Amino acid sequence: MERSDVERWVDGYEAAWRTAGVEGLADLFTPEVTYLPSPWAKPVVGLDALSRFWDGARDGPDEAFDLRSEVVAVDGDTAVVRLAVDYQGRGGRWRDLWVITFGSDGRCTAFEEWPFSPGQPDGH
């Protein structure tokens, strides 16, 4: 994977989030993907389960938010991306780190998210 490949994938992720339905997920994730929405969560396994998870996690394609991302590192098939997501409706502000593992076809095989929001306990 090259940095530009990861940037295109993140753009595709955002486009899929902003699009009605979940058909676009098959372009981003493999059928057997594991998706970890936080370090402590039970992983969502498989594209069908991920589709149901996505449908339940978003308000819809007209959900107002700004997303900024920066690819922090790419090492072989694994990338780390830093994101800032600011929702204008419910959801507030989030800062995330994504750890993404890609298959040979450029689709994600494993996704791990480390989400943080203001007021969240910092572990101290």
Q: What is the pLDDT of residues 31-89, one digit of tens each?
A: 999 999 998 899 999 999 999 998 887 766 677 788 899 999 999 999 999 999 887 76
Domain boundaries, the chain: 3-116
Please tell me the pTM assigned to this model.
Answer: 0.89
Is residue 2 within 8 A of residue 80, CB to CB? The reply is: no
Assess whether pLDDT exceeds 60 at residue 5: yes
State phi, psi for 89 to the nearest 5 degrees: -105, -135
What's residue 65's pLDDT? 80
What's the pLDDT at 76?
Answer: 97
Q: What is the pLDDT of residue 124?
A: 43
CATH number belonging to domain 3-116 = 3.10.450.50
Once rounded to an integer, what is the mean pLDDT over residues 85-96? 79
Structure tokens at 96: 């995330």
d(Cα 101, Cα 109) in Å, to the nearest integer? 6
